[in-house]
Amino acid sequence: MFRVCPPFDLYIPAPSARPGDAPDFSHLAIPPAGACPRPDVTAAASSVRDLAYGLVRVLDEDGRAVGPWAPKIAPETLRQGLRAMMQTRLFEDRMFRSHRQGKTSFFMKSTGEEAIGAAQSMVLGPRDMCFPTYRVLSWLMARGYPLIDLVNQIFSNERDPLHGRQLPILYSARKYGFYSISGNLGSRFGHAVGWAMASAYKKDDSLALAYIGEGSTAEGDFHEALTFASVYHAPVILAVTNNQWAISSYAGIAGADETTFAAKAAGYGLPGLRVDGNDFLAVWAATEWAVARAKANLGATLIEFFTYRVAGHSTSDDPTRYRPADEPVKWPLGDPVQRLKAHLITIGEWDEARHTQCEAELTEAVRSAAKEGEAVGTLGQSKPPVSEMFEGVFEKPDWRVREQRDELGV
Amino acid sequence: MATMSMIQALNSALDVKLTDDPDVLTFGEDIGYFGGVFRVTEGLQKKHGEKRCFDTPISEGGIIAAAIGMGAYGLRPVAEIQFADYILPAFDQLVSEAARLRYRSGGEFWAPITVRAPYGGGIFGGQTHSQSPEALFAHVTGLCTVIPSNPYDAKGLLIAAIESNDPVIFLEPKRIYNGPFDGHHDRQVKTWASHPKSEVPEGHYVVPLGKAATVREGRTVTVLAYGTMVHVAAAAIEEAGIDAELIDLRSIVPLDVETIVQSVTKTGRCVIVHEASRFAGFGGELSALVQERCFFHLKSPILRVTGWDTPYPHAFEWDYFPGPARVAKALKQAMED
């Protein structure tokens, strides 16, 4: 035997820039707004494969809504969306500072990704169920979830709606169509498919929407869920929020250099859309398309929301240790809040003065909720009755729970 | 009343619930048209329709994830995992999701799911069709784990499991699907027909979770067993000629600790029998509970008769399996100590 080719060499993907480098997004192909065609919602999945490699964009550089995907949204609805996004950002900034002040153990921000949850929350109905990740707070903001309940959950205080049992921000809000979040990544993606199958089984019209990060698409849960969604034509929207970073691992570690996340749909016979996630109108339009498709009994749609995680993963990491410090501001798809604001101003439905006033009102609402939560107590100062630790393990406590509760004297 | 094998009794439980409750549906690998590799779901698709009993992809994680989502919606799904040995791809779904959903959501969501799986050895199934993983589930707070030993219990417990609002792992000892097995593998196979517990009502009834059955009353030593080992222990007791009290736990979570304590307090001796390997097996928990609650009544050390701490072997099945001779030996040892 003799060798006829060079020896193999293990390939390890690497991002275009690390700390100290200039941010480099030159590898991203970003088509102009309005360039992507919009197929009929009844189109065969096999006929729309190009969409998985394109990018649905509606808002152009001048803040105009252009092209076939431009949705018809009343200005007041757009303002509601903007408020939800602004509220999300202001609230998260405040709670992030509260963490730095020792008022809670943990926090995560969704800065730069607010358009996704806000638009989807507004397109979906009150009977639909969203299966969120921990970066979809704008869903709740768009539905008017009380800020004080968020604060109390984050502070794990006496009024924590989850009774002190769950890590901050892993909310659950059934009445707001918001399923219980878990810290295990991807593990609820298949629950959304099960929910959708149940809805179809009962001849109901409740849709499910599942979120997963691009990093977690590498989990088996993602592929299992796509298989079930495809096999049973489940009325579910499967959303991959590709925010480029999974803690310190760039999207290439999840396979982004080889294909798009939207393109994974093709292997399951599902339509896959790739959408500018920082474009409120594009998110809205793509979601409407997927909803219409599901309601026509055509099953699931996979949507990759192309976005950027502006903040660190959580309060536990410093992003300047693994990516250029100025990478977030160089992100070529801009800031979703600024883009929607610009659009509203362009169409004559908003102005700087109203924006400033709105920001002041929202800031005051956050401040007031934070103060109210602090008055109840922050982490360690206040907590639910310790007996809550033993509740909800089973529907009815068994002897172990009863005995141990007695042993602890609660 | 009808005479049923365990398979027929389980089929009857599913039939009763599918008839009773439109929110019950069942799915798993090969269980629809074909009726399951052990025939537990035979005829159910034909009778109740393909939306109530259907085939799934070979994806245990996907099966359990879908079941949890359906349960959160409000259905009562019954998922079959073809062999308990194949349940591990779904372990994260069971441990991190099904078992925790009610607790972590402050009671907003829960997973009223039943996961059926043929389990245990004695069929020359080798490592991947013979294991007894009950201790893995018993350790997970939030899961119930049930192991029936006869047709009557199998039906009543399965109905109770389906009606439970907590997730239940329902392990079906496959060696006793078609007849009781006392561990004498070299003797003629028995059917359920002549066993009193094969008399099964055709309609709805419940055997509550968490209630052990005293199979045989006795005064000198308590034997704790479940599943196939109930029959092995009964044979060993007869063969050893010892006046032992045999308790069939029926469910290990919830556990009927009261019945165990009452019995050991009376007998002063305890032998624990299970097929699963010994170290950190469920027998360890039983032993600790008996020691904690009955120490001053004990006349001899608590003994465990179990599978060896090896993977489940093929050619050595009867060397591995804790048969009646090993159980009888332990009973005698307990009496001598």
A119-168 pLDDT, tens digit per residue, is 999 999 999 999 999 999 999 999 999 999 999 999 999 999 999 999 99
Residues B221, B195, single domain; the answer is no
A208 strand-pairing partners: A129, A236
Residues B309 and B244 in one domain: yes
* Residues from chain B contacting residue A226 (CB–CB below 8 Å): none
A332 touches chain B (CB under 8 A): no
For A228, the closest chain B residue by CA position comes to: B62
pLDDT at A5 over 90: no
Q: In terms of domains, do B195 and B306 share one?
A: no
Same domain assignment for residues B67 and B33: yes
d(CA B26, CA B13): 12
Q: How far is B223 from chain A (nearest CA, A)?
A: 22
Residues B227 and B305 in one domain: yes
In the A/B pair of chains, how many CB contacts fall below 8 A?
Answer: 142
CB of A78 within 8 Å of any CB in chain B? Answer: no
Q: Does A231 touch chain B (CB under 8 A)?
A: yes
Judge whether B15 is closer than 8 Å to chain A, CB to CB.
no
Report which secondary-structure segment, H or E, holds B153: helix B151-163
Q: Which residue has the tokens 């109901």?
A: A204
**What's the gap in Å between the CA of A146 and the closest CA on chain B?**
17
Distance of residue A268 Cα from the nearest chain B Cα, in angstroms: 13
Angle between helices A75-100 and A114-123 (to 10 degrees): 130
Contact A172 B109 (CB under 8 A): yes
Burial letters for A358-397: b for 16+ Cβ neighbours within 10 Å, e otherwise?
Answer: beeebbeebeebbeebbebbbbeebbbeeebbbbbbbeeb
- d(CA B112, CA B166) in angstroms, rounded, equals 5
Of B150, B176, B200, the one marking the end of a domain is B200
Nearest C-alpha neighbor of B41 from the set B229, B236, B172: B172
For B73, which of A170, A195, A220 is closest by C-beta distance? A195
Q: Which residue has the tokens 């798809």?
A: A333
Residue B337 confidence (pLDDT): 74
Q: How confident is the model over A162-184, as a mean pLDDT?
A: 97
Q: Are A25 and A251 in contact (CB under 8 A)?
A: no
Give Cα separations from B53 to A299, B71, B79, B181 (angstroms): 21, 16, 10, 30
Closest CA to A129 of A82, A63, A176: A176
Residue of chain B whose Cα is closest to the Cα of A394: B142
- Chain A residues with CB-CB distance to B69 below 8 A: 131, 190-198, 208
Mutate which of B26, B55, B63, B70 to disrupt the A interface (most A C-beta within 10 Å)?
B70
First-residue to last-residue Cα distance in chain A: 75
Q: Are B85 and B112 in contact (CB under 8 A)?
A: no
Does A394 touch chain B if contact means CB atoms closer than 8 Å? yes
Q: Which residue has tokens 């069709």?
A: B129
Residue B145's domain spans which residues? 2-200
d(CA A170, CA A401): 24
Q: How many CB atoms lie within 10 A of CB A149?
A: 18
Among this protein's residues, is B129 annotated catalytic?
A: yes
Range 256-315 of B in CB contact (< 8 A) with A: 257-258
Interior/surface letters A71-101, b for 16+ CB within 10 angstroms, e for the rest: bebeeeebbbbbbbbbbbbbbbebbbebbee
Across the interface, whether the CB atoms of B105 and A395 are under 8 A apart is answered no
Dihedral (Cα; A16, A22, A28, A32), 10-degree rounding: 170
Whether the predicted pLDDT of A34 surpasses 90: yes
B310 and B264 in one domain?
yes
- Give the CATH number of domain A45-314+324-379; options: 3.40.50.970, 3.40.50.300, 3.30.1200.10, 3.40.50.620: 3.40.50.970
A300 touches chain B (CB under 8 A): no
CATH classification at residue B275: 3.40.50.920
Please check the confidence at residue A2 and state whether its pLDDT lies above 80.
Answer: no
Q: Are A359 and A93 in contact (CB under 8 A)?
A: no
Residue of B nearest to A200 (CA): B51
Angle between helices B324-336 and B228-240 (to 10 degrees): 60
Distance CA A337, CA A90 (A): 12
Contact B260, B222 (CB under 8 A): yes
DSSP string spanning A69-133?
T-----HHHHHHHHHHHHHHHHHHHHHHHHHHTTS-S-----TT-HHHHHHHHHHS-TT-EEE--
Q: Pick from B56, B62, B109: which is nearest to A180 by CB?
A: B109
Helix axes A114-123, A280-295, angle to 10 degrees: 40
B171 and B285 part of one domain? no
Q: Are residues B62 and A228, on separate chains, in Cβ contact within 8 Å?
A: yes
**Assigned token pair, B101:** 């959903």
Q: Which residues in chain A have their CB less than 8 angstroms from residue B95's CB?
A: none
Domain boundaries, chain A: 45-314+324-379, 386-410
Closest-CA distance, A56 to chain B, in angstroms, reads 30
Q: Do B97 and A392 touch (CB under 8 A)?
A: no
Of the candidates B231, B4, B245, which has an alpha carbon nearest to the alpha carbon of residue B120?
A: B231
Residue of A131, A140, A223, A224 to mutate for B, most B C-beta atoms under 10 A: A224
Residues B221, B279 within the same domain: yes
Are A79 and A122 in contact by the 8 Å Cβ rule? The answer is: no
B231 and B158 in a common domain: no
CB contact under 8 A, B103 and A227: no
Asked if A141 and A188 count as a contact pair (C-beta separation under 8 A), the reply is no
Is the pLDDT score of A1 beyond 70?
A: no
**Residue B46 belongs to domain with CATH number:** 3.40.50.970
- Look up residue B97 and give its DSSP letter: I
Minimum-distance CB partner of A195 among B69, B108, B258? B69
What pLDDT was estimated at residue A129? 98
What part of A 136-195 touches B (C-beta under 8 Å)?
A: 161-163, 165-166, 170, 172-174, 179-180, 182, 184, 187-195
Q: Which tokens is A285 given?
A: 């339009």
Q: Which residues pair with B2 in a beta bridge?
A: B200
> Alpha helix (H) ranges present in A304-378?
327-330, 336-346, 352-376
Question: Which tokens belong to B102?
Answer: 């009610």
Digits of tens for pLDDT over chain B (337 positions)? 899 999 999 999 999 999 999 999 999 999 999 999 999 999 999 999 999 999 999 999 999 999 999 999 999 999 999 999 999 999 999 999 999 999 999 999 999 999 999 999 999 999 999 999 999 999 999 999 999 999 999 999 999 999 999 999 999 999 999 999 999 999 999 999 999 999 999 999 999 999 999 999 999 999 999 999 999 999 999 999 999 999 999 999 999 999 999 999 999 999 999 999 999 999 999 999 999 999 999 999 999 999 999 999 999 999 999 999 999 999 999 999 7
DSSP state of A228: H
B207 in any annotated domain: no
Are the Cβ atoms of B57 and A187 closer than 8 angstroms?
no
Residue written as token pair 């004559």: A348
ipTM of the complex: 0.97
Total structural domains within chain B: 2
- Looking at chain A, which residue has its C-alpha nearest residue B110? A395
Would an 8 Å CB–CB cutoff place A221 in contact with chain B?
yes
Q: Does A48 touch chain B (CB under 8 A)?
A: no
Taking Cα atoms as reference points, which of B165, B324, B141, B168 lies closest to residue B232? B324
Residues of chain B with Cβ-Cβ distance to A196 below 8 Å are 69
Q: Which residue has the tokens 């100590």?
A: B337
Give pLDDT, residue A329: 96
Identify which of B261, B274, B24, B323 has the alpha carbon closest to the alpha carbon of residue B171. B274
Q: Which of A188, A191, A238 to mutate to test the interface with B (most CBs of B within 10 A)?
A: A191
Give the bridge partners for B144, in sequence order: B168
Same domain, B114 and B28: yes
Whole-angstrom distance, CA of residue B171 vs CA of residue A189: 27
Chain A residues near residue B25 by CB distance under 8 angstroms? 201
Residue B269 within any structural domain of the chain: yes
Contact B321, B307 (CB under 8 A): yes
Residues in chain B: 337
Closest approach of chain A CAs to the CA of B115, in angstroms?
15
Tell me how close the Cα of A263 comes to any Cα of chain B, in angstroms: 21
Closest CA to B65 of B195, B167, B154: B167
Residue type, B309: D
The overall average pLDDT reported for chain A is 97
A173:B108 CB<8 A = yes
Q: Provide φ and ψ at B88, rounded to 5°.
A: -65, -35
CA trace torsion B64, B65, B68, B72 (10° rounding): -160
Say yes or no: B187 and B265 in one domain: no
The answer to whether residues A148 and A158 touch, using CB atoms and an 8 Å cutoff, is: no
- State the pLDDT confidence band at A118, using cuts at 50, 70 and 90: very high
- Report whether pLDDT(A106) > 90: yes
Picking from B200, B233, B257, the residue at the C-terminal end of a domain is B200
Are B178 and B236 in a shared domain? Answer: no
Listed by number, the residues of chain A in 237-276 with a beta carbon closer than 8 Å to a beta carbon of chain B are none
Q: Out of B156, B178, B200, pick the residue that ends a domain.
A: B200
3-state secondary structure of B18: helix
**Judging by DSSP bridges, how do beta strands B76-80 and B114-119 pair with one another?**
parallel
Structure-token match 């009857």, residue found: B12
